[in-house]
Amino acid sequence: MILKALSFATLAVLFSLIFIGGYVSASGVGLSCPDWPLCPQGLIPHEDFIIEYIHRSVAATTGLLVIATAVFAIKSKDAPRAMKVASLIATAAVIGQIVLGAVVIVERLHAVLVTAHLGLGLVLFSMVLMTVAFAFRMPATKAIMVKD
């Protein structure tokens, strides 16, 4: 089922994003790319901006995956209501993360904003994890089962 694969891929990319975000924060390169959404040289990053550029690229990919997962969950007739709610909360959280990430850069890594960014990231991770759990509890569709 595509919803299982998509939700699991979303969770894996999101986990990678959190890992990269932790590295960005711990290594102090959070403002190496001081503009938002692109670095000063646009789409092609200079080597000085590569770590932050990777973080932003993975974040954009994660955002698209979260939204795609929500669309598939909402359109699925087999998906339980709780799964649809979790995926909608995840979509709201990922949009909030994008906005908050921009504010963090504009406000030069204010500690309260960075903490809020991490906290909202944990909410996002929790909702995507719930979506994956629901997806793997869904029954296999009849179209996938083949009888001999």
**What crossing angle do the helices spanning 2-27 and 111-137 adopt, rounded to 10°?**
160
Confidence at residue 142, expressed as pLDDT on a 0 to 100 scale: 38
When the pLDDT of each residue in the chain is averaged and rounded to a whole number, the result is: 90
Cα(109)–Cα(5) distance, integer angstroms: 35
Confidence at residue 146, expressed as pLDDT on a 0 to 100 scale: 38
Confidence at residue 144, expressed as pLDDT on a 0 to 100 scale: 39
Confidence at residue 36, expressed as pLDDT on a 0 to 100 scale: 79
Confidence at residue 141, expressed as pLDDT on a 0 to 100 scale: 63
Lowest mean pLDDT among 12-21, 26-35, 61-70: 26-35
Mean pLDDT of 44-53: 82
CB under 8 Å to 121, separation ≥6 — which residues? Answer: 18, 21, 97
Q: What pLDDT band is residue 29 in, cutting at 50, 70 and 90?
A: confident
pLDDT > 50? residue 18? yes
